[in-house]
């Protein structure tokens, strides 16, 4: 039921920007793009979400393409603590359940 | 952000016994909570949607008589794994939905269940 595809794994050098892509070509007009991450053996942590405009908060930036069929999560200066599995989820902002895809395992390398 | 707790954080039980896992929203009320299960090196799999004061809605393939869910208050949902077997060993995670302003899900830290 997950409507997203992500690369299974990525590496990023510490201090560099990590750009995590997500494809959601069947996204509906009322569906948001959410990003969560899960550090090993912990619950998922909310990062950011957006509808069509680019969004930025203290953790990351979210770039959504104009056709909304894909997006990129940007961690501007990756640290070792950013090593985690990152999940991209599409969902209407009405309290519906989330269906997680396989996510991207990001490894930040010293 | 909002805080969700789970208790216990890890539990070991013998095959055939039942185990109860609690999920609490600590600083907000949650009319809806969700239960997920995660096996090693796999993604989270939604098990059920728990609504305060009503019966839970289970995902296809999840046995409602084996995984009993009770959402008796706006801050507490419980998942009881009945007659547990080794194949039920997993990481169980709950999330709670806030409804003040935007709908946002906050996840608990998870409960590691091992059935011997």
Tens-digit pLDDT profile for residues B16-57: 999 999 999 998 888 899 999 999 999 999 999 998 888 999
Residue A32, chain B, CB below 8 Å: the answer is: no
Residues of chain B with pLDDT > 90, as a percent, come to 78
Q: Which of B1, B103, B107 sits opposite A95 (nearest CB)?
A: B103
Reply yes or no on whether the pLDDT at B82 is more than 70: yes
Alpha carbon distance A41, B38 (integer Å) = 10
Nearest-5° Cα angle at B10, B106 to A79: 55
Closest CA to A92 of A24, A47, A1, A27: A27
CB contact under 8 A, A100 and B44: yes
Neighbours of B76 (CB within 10 A): 17
**pLDDT score of B1:** 66
Residue A100, chain B, CB below 8 Å: the answer is: yes
* Residue A5 DSSP code: B
Question: What are A63-83's pLDDT values in tens digits?
Answer: 999 999 999 999 999 999 999
Reply yes or no on whether the pLDDT at A92 is more than 90: no
Longest dimension (CA), chain A: 40
Closest CA to A3 of A27, A32, A19: A27
Q: Which of B1, B43, B103 sits opposite A102 (nearest CB)?
A: B43
3-state helix, strand, coil in chain A (%, to 5): 5, 50, 50
Residue-wise over A2-40: b if at least 16 C-beta within 10 A, else e?
bbbebeeebebeeeeebebebbbeebeeebbbbbbbbee
- Residue identified by tokens 């305060």 is B52
């Amino acid at each position: 039921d997950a409507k997203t595809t992500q690369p299974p794994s990525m590496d990023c050098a510490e201090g560099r920007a990590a750009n995590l892509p997500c494809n959601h070509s069947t996204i509906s007009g009322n569906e948001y793009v959410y990003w969560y991450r899960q550090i090993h053996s912990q619950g998922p942590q909310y990062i950011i979400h957006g509808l069509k405009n680019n969004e930025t908060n203290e953790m990351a930036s979210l770039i959504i393409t104009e056709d909304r069929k894909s997006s990129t999560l940007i961690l501007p200066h990756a640290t070792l603590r950013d090593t985690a599995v990152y999940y991209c989820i599409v969902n209407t902002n009405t309290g519906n359940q989330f269906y997680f895809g396989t996510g991207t395992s990001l490894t930040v390398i010293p | 952000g909002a805080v969700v707790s789970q208790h216990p954080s890890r539990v070991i039980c013998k095959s055939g016994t039942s185990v109860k896992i609690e999920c609490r929203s600590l600083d907000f009320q949650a009319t809806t909570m969700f239960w997920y299960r995660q096996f090693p090196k796999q993604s989270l799999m939604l098990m059920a949607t728990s609504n305060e004061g009503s019966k839970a809605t289970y995902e296809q393939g999840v046995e409602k008589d084996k995984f009993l869910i009770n959402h008796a208050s706006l801050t507490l949902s419980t998942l009881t794994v009945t007659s547990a077997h080794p194949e039920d060993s997993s990481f169980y995670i709950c999330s709670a939905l806030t409804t003040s302003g935007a709908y946002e899900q906050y996840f608990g830290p998870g409960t590691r269940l091992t059935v011997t």
